[in-house]
Amino acid sequence: MNAVLPPPQLFVRTVALRTHSGSLVRRLPAGAPLAWLTGDDGIVGWGQAARLDLSGEPPGTEPTDTTRFTAAARWVDGLVEKADVADEVGLPGTGLVAFGTFTFAPDSSGSSVVVPRVLLGRRGDRTWLTTVSDASGVHPEELLHPVPPLRPVGPLSWLPGSLSGPEWKDVVAGTVAHIRAGHLEKAVLARDTVADAGSPIDVRTLLERLRMRFPSCFTFSVAGMVGATPELLLRREGDEFTSLVLAGTRPRGATPEEDRRLGEELMSSAKDVEEHGLAVDSLRASMEPFADELSVPAWPHLLRLANVQHLATRAHARLAPGVSTLEVLAALHPTAAVGGTPTPEAMRLIAEVEGMDRGGYAGPVGWMDGAGNAEWGIALRSAFVDGARARLFAGCGIVAGSDPESELAETESKFRAMRGALTDDGA
């Protein structure tokens, strides 16, 4: 059980800035940056005005336990209630803003919520600065921190993950057998690999490379979790809710003809359409108790990214009065796209056979402000960066028609995003 200390009173000031076209990442000091970016827009922060770190629940806790979300909600509500906020901009991501990362499983440590001392934001032609202090009329010292140039990562040593490729394929084959025996419909299995650099990795370098290469994804950095996810778990502006479900994947083709062929193959694949349908059904079931209106398309569309293409469905809802963002987040996680179906059985299987602790991988990552606006993604195409070491993750959905060799190849495709960000000559 986590003991959550009462949050401090914070004095928050947001002012408009003259819009500039430069990268927000290049305004960040070195250290432990906070970021949520889509192309040139987004928010970045540094320093810590307040931080909540949650330990994992005891082993054997129900895999769908939501204690970490409710503990964070109480803490954030306390911050918002006591904060003295002056916000002259009034956009989502202004005023009091907290970045967060939540672990995939309830018994993992690593869920964190951080309020930065300084935040820069941009949305279209609007740019703003938020400062957070412990006393009225005082600017945080972090406002004047120097901004050195981004550092290259340098040479890397690649180390094996928790399971070798052949071992992981055996796990996939065993999972397919479980599914065909009727124990569950789908399980999302992941694997890891490790990169060691000769010196601490400059996370800003990874952010800038990911932002440039995947401008339509959500590039993030929160408490060591770094990546560029294509999967929007929820966007909230007022009572309007949006979610993007991705499940079913093919690589991009080397030529336009091959690319089109792979996309058509994906759209007509019974295995991938089934996997996607389970993820959409999971979202619909999770959202119905919270929505006055819910709109989910009957058929997915094709979403093409730099390295892969996905089956995608964008859902919209109008939330019922009184519903909080973290309440919805707790209900949505884990989706069938990152856990499986039925969820409890899939989560137990994952814990039993993957041979690793996912930490924040495939958990929610994003931000929320004091007005209830928020953007949260699923921490995919990501790594946990700790000093000179980065632990990369990739996964894929396993159903009755899955082939172990093809699933291994899919994880290799998904590793490429972070491998490229870590490799200096691949920037």
Residue partners of 299: CB distance under 8 A and separation at least 6: none
Radius of gyration of the chain (CA): 21
CB-based contact 25:100 (threshold 8 Å): no
Residue 2 lies in a domain: no
pTM for this predicted structure: 0.92
Does residue 276 or residue 33 have the better pLDDT?
A: 33
pLDDT digits (tens, 9 = 90+) for 330-354: 999 998 888 988 989 999 999 999 9
Residue 4 DSSP class: -
3 pLDDT band, cuts 50/70/90, is low
pLDDT confidence of residue 298:
87
The mean pLDDT value of the chain amounts to 92
**Domain ranges, residue 52:** 11-426
6 domain-assigned: no
Q: Please count the other Cβ atoms lying within 10 Å of the Cβ belonging to residue 181.
A: 9
- Report whether pLDDT(426) > 70: no
To the nearest 10 degrees (0 to 180), the angle between helices 165-180 and 343-353 is 150
pLDDT of 2? 54
Question: Does the residue 311 lie in any domain?
Answer: yes
Does the annotation mark 186 as catalytic?
A: yes
pLDDT per residue over 236-257, tens digit each?
999 999 998 888 888 888 899 9
Kindly state whether residue 1 falls inside one of the protein's structural domains: no
Q: What is the pLDDT of residues 126-144, one digit of tens each?
A: 999 999 999 998 899 999 8
**Over residues 259-263, mean pLDDT:** 92
Q: Which of 334, 363, 374 is nearest to 76 (CA)?
A: 374
Q: Of these residues, 57, 142, 208, 231, which one is catalytic?
A: 231
**According to the model, what pLDDT value does residue 425 have?**
78
Task: State how many domains the chain has.
Answer: 1
Whether 169 is catalytic is no
Report residue 391 as tokens.
């632990």
- The residue annotated as part of the active site, out of 186, 208, 345, 354, is 186
What pLDDT is recorded for position 6? 63
Q: What is the mean pLDDT of residues 141-164?
A: 94
Cα 27 from Cα 309, distance rounded (Å): 32
Residue 179 lies in a domain: yes
Contacts of 36 (CB under 8 A, 6+ apart): 42, 43, 44, 99, 218, 219, 220, 366, 367, 375
In a domain, 249, yes or no: yes
Residue 76 has pLDDT above 90, yes or no: yes
CATH of the domain at 199: 3.60.120.10
Q: Is the pLDDT of residue 1 over 90?
A: no
Which tens digits make up the pLDDT trace of 191-244? 999 999 989 999 999 999 999 999 989 999 999 999 999 889 999 999 999 998
Q: Is residue 283 part of a domain?
A: yes
At 96-121, the pLDDT tens digits run: 999 999 999 999 999 999 999 999 99
DSSP states of 353-376: HS-S--TTTTSEEEEEETTS-EEE
Kindly state whether residue 5 falls inside one of the protein's structural domains.
Answer: no
